[in-house]
Structures are given as structure tokens and as C-alpha cells.
Amino acid sequence: MGVNIAPSEFSAIGWLRKPHLHVLRRVNPFRKRYREFLRARSSFDLFATSDYGQNSLQFGNTGEQFRSVGYTYGENFLAKDLYLELLNGFPSRKFFDPFYDLTKTYDWGFVKKYSSVTDPHDLEKFPSLKKFYDFVASDVFCGQVTELCGDGIVRKCHNIDSTWAKSGGYLTPHQDQAREVDKSNGFVNLIYFVKGNGDPWTGGGTSFSSDAEMSELLLTPRTLDNSFVIYRSLANVWHGFRTIGKGQVRWAIIVQFCSSNYSN
């Protein structure tokens, strides 16, 4: 759960306002087992994927804004051929676990902690996703993040999560819990939008605001196809998205970076 959440936002997800979500959370252990049952009976047609190179992921000309205010947005993040492979090879919903936090009501999967030497379960079955994970954790890409930040802190990958959101999902406006431990640890979070449809504001486009109720918007993504937002945990802004509209979906990969000296 994030921090500095407004009381009105907690009220909005209370039992009286969102009873169906509270019921879903209680039965989520059963939903999770059912998805595990489906996964165990899935077959895979593995395909060859392209290799990543030095310029496979690009921040473009977003560095000035990021260094100035601590957050930015960019498009055409992943090279086109690699993007199409990731898009076509992205896991279906059954490979994600149901939400466990009422402030983040979308599905999570393929959680990789880089303090662990093992890959998440089933990641090897999705070669395009695994190659993306491997590249964003590489010294090459971490060097690009270090350069983007321009603050003298050398960074490494801390963790990666993939998410699958649909109609009804939302992210309560918050600030990251990492800000409570981030002094010189340099936490930076990258949200890569693989796919989204419809208006990004109603489709899970993580937006930034100067207040905890998202009434003073600072930035909203223009597209959720092959775009990204990146921000410092210490930036004095709130981020989140409102309830995803009917028929809309969002696939996203969340990558957290920290100082190369940080250990946890």
C-alpha cells in the first residue's frame, strides 16, 4: 500500500461504497487457485524472439523534464519489432494473481526481486517478456536510467512486476512507500504501458497530480501503447488512475530502480 492517501480516497473504497470489491478480496484465495488450475493445464507454443541491443529502449528527449520536476512521460519506448513481439507474446489473464490490496484493484504476476537469483514461475514460458525483464535489469539499461536521472547516483534494478487490469480496476492516488526509506537510495519507478484501449484517463493511464485527490492534474499519458511514465519516489506528487471504463484493458510492466549501494 502507498502512503499519504487522502481520507476521502479511503472512504471511496469502503465497504458501503465498493462492497463487491471487498467480497472479491475475501474469495481471492479461491480465484487464485482456480487460475493456478488453468495455468497447469495450459500448453505453450514457444517462438523465437529478437535480441535486445544498446538502443532497444529509449527515453527520448524526456530527461530535462524528469530532472526538473521528478517525473516525465514518453512514447515509442520499445523498438517496433521488439514491441510487437512483446505485445503478441504477453501472458493472458490466467497467469496473473487476483488483486490483494483494495487500493490497487488489478491483477499482478511475474514478480521478480533482484535480490533473488530465481525467475518468477512461468516467466520462461513467455520468451518476449523474459527478454524485456533481462534487458531492463541489465547494466546497459540501468546505465541509461542513471544518465536520465543525472544526480550522480548509479542505479540498479530492484524489482519488476507485470500487471493486467480491466474494467473496474483502479489505483488509489498515493505516494510510494519507498519515500519513507529513500534518502540517498535514489528510488525511481518506471511504468511501461504495453497495451491500452480507449481514453487513457479512463483506461488505466497512471497520472500525476499535485494533490492527494487528483484534482490538480500535472500529467496524463496520451496513449497506453508502447509508452511510459517514470518518476522519483521522493517527487512531491501523487500518482494513480481512476476506475477503468467498460470494455477497457491495460497491460503494464512496473520496474523499480534504486542506488547500486542499496541492499534489502
For residues 115-139, give the mean pLDDT.
91
- Contact at 8 Å (CB) between 204 and 169? yes
Q: Round to the nearest angstrom and report the end-to-end CA distance of the chain.
A: 18
Domains of the chain, first to last: 7-259 (2.60.120.620)
The DSSP bridge pattern shows strands 188-196 and 207-209 to be: unpaired
For residues 61-69, give the mean pLDDT.
97
pTM: 0.96
Could you tell me the pLDDT band of residue 68, with boundaries at 50, 70 and 90?
very high
Among left, alpha and beta (phi > 0; psi -120 to 50; other), residue 227 is beta
Whole-number Cα distances in Å, 62 to 2, 75, 134, 148:
26, 10, 23, 8
The dihedral of CA 210, 255, 253, 2: what is its sign? negative
For residues 171-186, give the mean pLDDT.
86
pLDDT tens digit string along 97-112? Answer: 999 999 999 999 999 9
pLDDT of residue 185: 84
Q: Which range has the worst mean pLDDT, 71-75, 120-124, 142-146?
A: 120-124
CA distance 140 to 117: 19
Could you tell me the pLDDT band of residue 114, with boundaries at 50, 70 and 90?
confident
Q: What are phi and psi of 144, to 5 degrees?
A: -65, -40
Residues in the chain: 264
Q: What is the largest CA-CA distance in the chain?
A: 51
Q: Give alpha helix (H) positions in 89-205.
A: 127-136, 139-149
Give the sheet arrangement for strand 207-209, strand by strand. 171-174, 238-241, 207-209, 217-219
CA distance 142 to 257: 8
Q: Which range has the worst mean pLDDT, 37-46, 66-75, 248-257?
A: 37-46
